[in-house]
Every structure is written in structure tokens, then in C-alpha cells.
């Protein structure tokens, strides 16, 4: 899989991709991640990528020209399954969406900034808009990092125990059940007896019941969905 990220702050997004699962996935050629500085596509002598909004209003707008040139530079080299824009008014991101994106071959993620990008880019080039939550960030870099992380860990081979990702919260529409490890007793706090019983069938039943109970308590909307 190949992920191209367009940003005006490449240094902000580089670090998350140089550690842990993503670092290993890159090393093992499971995923390729390329970060492109949108300023490199600006014709402005000062490499400016923002300007005032037509019609007035507070804040600056990301200019159409450098973004268009950056996207065209990439799409002339290969086909992309999705061109994603990180935006607070995009579709709310969830595990189902992450699962789908992890099956694609090539995607572009455009990081928003300032008051947003020129609407003509959204109307003509963007295929999907994603929000990671109902709040506003300084820019889309952190959102792009979150989306990328959630995708890469699902690609076969990225995690040594692939069943681990399949048992994560939200994969089956439920929150994960509580987890415990050794020692079985610490400070008078005990692990539930069922988990050390050795009865796999009863353990799986317990885990499912705990997942439903926890979801009903913490995220009842998931059960409604």
C-alpha cells in the first residue's frame, strides 16, 4: 500500500511514522508513506500557500494552485483509490472506514490548515472528506497521522499476531472486554477466576458478555447502531 500525505508542515507529521508498527511495516515493504510539502508547489517567491478569502471574513484560506499542482504531480504517476481531505466537517471516522481504507492500494491525504482549502479543490478533486471528531485542530497533520496509523495496523503482516487487530474495540461493533495479565493477585486485587479457569468456551462467553456490558455502559449508541 502507498500513502501520500500533502502538508505545509512535514516536520510535524514525520515522527509518528518512524516508530513501532508503522516503522516495521515500512521496513518490511508492507506500506510506503511519502510526505510532500505543499509549499514546494507554490509559484510565490516566498512560498506562500494562503491568501485572504473572497467575500471577507476572518482567517486565511489555503490557495488552490499549489494544492492542485501537488495532486496533479501525484496522479500523473499512478492511479489513486481515494483522495482524502482531513476536515472537521467531513464524515466522522470509525473502525469500519479504517477497515475499508486498509484494503486500498494508493491513497492521498490532504491536510487542511487555516480556515480550510479553496472549495474548488473539494468540489473537483477530493473523493472523500474525513473528520476524526467534532472539534477543531490547528491543522490536519495529526488527523492524517491518526488515519494512517489506524490503516497500517490492519494491513496483513503489519502486526505479527494478526488476530490481535481483529479483536480490537469497534471491530465487531462493541468495545473490547477488560484485559488482565500476571500476577493473578496484586495488592489484594484479583483477576476474575474465569480467565484462569482454562475453559476456553466459558472464557469466550465471558469476554462477549463483558464487551456488551461495557459498551452498554460507556457507548450505548454503538448498540443502537
- Residue for grid cell 471491530: 171
Average pLDDT, the chain: 92
pLDDT, tens digit, 9 for 90 and up, residues 161-182: 655 555 555 567 888 899 999 9
pLDDT at residue 216, as a whole number: 93
Q: Which among 111, 126, 152 is the end of a domain?
A: 152
Residue 205 pLDDT greater than 80, yes or no: yes
pLDDT at residue 144, as a whole number: 98
**Do 111 and 189 belong together in one domain?**
no
User: Residues 131, 132, 134, CA angle at the centre, nearest 5°?
Assistant: 75
**Do 28 and 65 belong together in one domain?**
yes
**What is the mean pLDDT of the segment spanning 58-77?**
96
pLDDT at residue 76, as a whole number: 98
Q: What is the DSSP letter of 60?
A: E
User: Residues 143, 147, 149, CA angle at the centre, nearest 5°?
Assistant: 115
**Do 174 and 93 belong together in one domain?**
no
* Residue 221 CB neighbours (<10 A): 8
Q: Closest by alpha carbon to 215, among 170, 166, 163?
A: 170
Q: What is the CATH number of the domain that holds 121?
A: 3.40.1280.10
State the residue range of the domain holding 186. Answer: 167-224
Structural domain count of the chain? 2
pLDDT, tens digit, 9 for 90 and up, residues 87-118: 999 999 999 999 999 999 999 999 999 899 99
Residue 91 or residue 136, greater confidence: 91
Helix (H) or strand (E) holding 10: helix 10-14
**Do 9 and 112 belong together in one domain?**
yes
Quote the CA–CA distance of 7 and 84 in Å, as a whole number: 12
- 161: in domain: no
**What DSSP line would sit under 152-186, residue for residue?**
HTTSTTSSSSHHHHHTSTTTTSSPPPP---S-SEE
Quote the percentage of the chain above a pLDDT of 90.
Answer: 82
Amino acid at each position: 500500500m502507498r500513502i501520500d500525505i500533502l502538508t505545509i508542515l512535514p516536520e510535524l507529521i514525520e515522527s509518528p511514522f518512524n516508530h513501532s508498527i508503522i516503522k516495521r511495516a515500512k521496513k518490511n515493504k508492507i506500506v510506503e508513506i511519502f510526505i510532500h510539502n505543499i509549499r514546494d508547489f507554490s509559484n510565490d517567491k516566498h512560498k506562500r500557500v494562503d491568501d485572504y478569502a473572497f467575500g471577507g471574513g476572518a482567517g486565511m484560506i489555503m490557495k488552490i494552485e499549489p494544492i492542485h499542482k501537488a495532486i496533479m504531480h501525484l496522479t500523473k504517476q499512478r492511479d489513486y483509490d481515494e483522495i482524502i481531505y482531513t476536515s472537521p466537517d467531513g464524515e466522522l471516522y470509525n473502525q469500519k472506514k479504517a477497515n475499508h481504507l486498509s484494503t486500498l492500494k494508493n491513497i492521498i491525504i490532504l491536510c487542511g490548515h487555516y480556515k480550510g482549502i479553496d472549495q474548488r479543490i473539494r468540489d473537483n478533486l477530493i473523493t472523500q472528506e474525513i473528520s476524526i471528531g467534532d472539534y477543531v485542530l490547528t491543522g490536519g497533520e495529526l488527523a492524517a497521522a491518526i488515519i494512517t496509523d489506524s490503516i497500517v495496523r490492519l494491513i496483513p503482516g503489519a502486526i505479527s499476531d494478526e488476530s490481535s487487530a481483529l479483536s480490537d474495540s469497534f471491530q465487531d461493533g462493541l468495545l473490547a472486554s477488560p484485559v488482565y495479565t500476571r500476577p493473578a493477585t496484586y495488592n489484594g486485587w484479583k483477576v476474575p477466576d474465569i480467565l484462569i479457569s482454562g475453559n476456553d468456551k466459558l472464557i469466550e462467553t465471558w469476554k462477549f458478555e463483558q464487551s456488551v456490558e461495557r459498551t452498554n455502559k460507556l457507548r450505548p449508541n454503538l448498540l443502537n447502531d
